[in-house]
Structure 1
């Protein structure tokens, strides 16, 4: 990496002596877990390059202007302002805030008792908590002169589940030499497999709800394998807690969900069949496995965000 940085400084010195150019355009390979980026420059990776606050909405694939030097700095992105307001995203944020602040999520009435469970009767008023702990009211009337407003049917707020444990296995048993879940074999001592564990938290969060989406976020550790992008070979597993013996793998691999260079962070959307298994408890967590050096890497994170439609 130091050779690439030196070449970058030499290039800008030559350009400045000629046409007076002060920046170079590079391609972003990944956004890192420190908020910087990995850049592709002259066919090589330039790692952990800092970014100015003018470079917003950072994403892999961006073309950016870079001020070279001993410590290169990404100045801005080529293209339209990524910070321009977007009505859809603003509405989504406002909706999330409204769900957080609501004291009452539904108020309906009719001549019969309310449907569902959990209602408590206060004379002719019923009250209960919904799945997000917000109050719901129902009013029983002797006769209806004005129809009840429709139940707003607001989808429950998304839930984020953090792993309660993680680890690595090699040779059919836990590998205490790996500090983070690891896939592949770098030293010739055998292929590793890693796993993230959530107890029953995923199934409990999904109980009684319709899951519309599940995403998971990871970061690739520095100093693990080649610097370039490698795929995370993701599997399901059915353990609530780390096993004392082999970590057996379930459905998978899904190797196209996420590819990361060292230090990079990313988020993947889990396949529909996987979210169904996790929501029902047929699967309990996520694992990684690879063979050999080419896809060797260690990863941290594992937070799963669950979105609901009902």
Structure 2
């Protein structure tokens, strides 16, 4: 019987008189748009959700409708409110005004009205790293102090892996279709890796990196259904090696824990983002020993944020 049908039957038999829903805890949000639930200590996989349940996240308490195909209806908690278009536009306009370096651009055949104007002798223009125009005016003499450079942070960049794979026994393991950690069959521990060429270093060149976040999804049918940690490491390969995948700094096993089908995002440690930005490290790897933390993972997109 389908696990969701099992939950429906269970809810039907356990439902207290007059109670149409039960409260469950969300374990993870899955790549199918549903959730894995903790129901009385049991892990229930890929339970569907109504559109009323928004901002889904692990740890939420939710109401689940009973029936042969149970449905998550809504989250327990305060009303988040429903912002309308007008209020959103007002907030956006206020922020834009605060951030604008130029408040007006006008011209005419005579000098401008009002006081404080200065004569420009030379105008400089360039394109910034994000392709936006920047202007600088050189003055013959200065009567007013220049406004400070607004210092807008460059737009975040997302880097996708160019390749990935799994290694066992010192060589690539083509049997594993996705990066895998641990040993399920007793034939040896696996290690997986994601490769980015020089993309990360190129994206960070000339900029100050404030954060790097990487997203993964745990494959179904790989190990136990419950949460396991991703044991993350750095590596220094631009492309998959033909021999062993040697591991760099790590493991960082507390960054991300996922149940099957779950997706998640981890923030890389500051020392790791420094190594990746400089090219001292090139990519990410996983490794575990034995069955307890065995699992396969997809994804590997890295979002890089900058402060300057």
TM-score, normalisation: structure 1: 0.85
Shift of 1:45: 0.8
Q: 1:168 to 1:94 in 2, by over 3 A?
A: farther
Shift of 1:84: 5.4
Structure 1 equivalent of residue 242 of structure 2: 244
- 2-structure distance, mates of 1:212, 1:299: 26
Give runs of aligned pairs for residues 271-286 of structure 1, distance below 5 A.
Answer: 271-286=269-284
- 2-structure distance, mates of 1:307, 1:194: 26
Give runs of aligned pairs for residues 60-99 of structure 1, distance below 5 A.
Answer: 60-82=58-80
2:110 aligned with 1:125, yes or no? no
Q: 1:83 to 1:210 in 2, by over 3 A?
A: farther
TM-score, normalisation: structure 2: 0.85
- 2-structure distance, mates of 1:279, 1:175: 29
Deviations 1:62-96 (A, max 9, x none): 110001222110000011134656xxxx79x959x
Structure 2 equivalent of residue 265 of structure 1: 263
Q: Secondary structure at the match of 1:278?
A: helix
Structure 1 equivalent of residue 40 of structure 2: 42
Given that residues 192 and 289 in structure 1 are in contact (C-alpha distance below 8 angstroms), is that contact kept between their aligned partners in structure 2? yes
Structure 1 equivalent of residue 132 of structure 2: 134
Structure 2 equivalent of residue 176 of structure 1: 174
Give runs of aligned pairs for residues 137-286 of structure 1, distance below 5 A.
Answer: 137-286=135-284
2:16 aligned with 1:12, yes or no? no
Q: Secondary structure at the match of 1:124?
A: strand
Shift of 1:149: 1.8
Q: 1:221 to 1:7 in 2, by over 3 A?
A: closer
Q: 1:10 to 1:264 in 2, by over 3 A?
A: closer
Q: CA RMSD in A?
A: 2.4
Q: Secondary structure at the match of 2:57?
A: coil
Shift of 1:176: 0.7
For structure 2, the residue ranges without an aligned partner over 5 or more in a row are 106-120
Of residues 297, 301, 304, the one that matches 2:302 is 304
Given that residues 36 and 51 in structure 1 are in contact (C-alpha distance below 8 angstroms), is that contact kept between their aligned partners in structure 2? yes
Given that residues 185 and 293 in structure 1 are in contact (C-alpha distance below 8 angstroms), is that contact kept between their aligned partners in structure 2? yes
Relative to structure 2, which stretch is displaced further, 145-154 or 49-58? Answer: 145-154
Deviations 1:100-159 (A, max 9, x none): xx999xx9xxxxxxxxxxxxxxx8211111111111111112112333221111111111
Structure 2 equivalent of residue 116 of structure 1: none
Mark the structure with the bigger radius of gyration: 2
Deviations 1:222-250 (A, max 9, x none): 01100000000000000011111110000
Shift of 1:4: 7.4
Given that residues 56 and 83 in structure 1 are in contact (C-alpha distance below 8 angstroms), is that contact kept between their aligned partners in structure 2? no
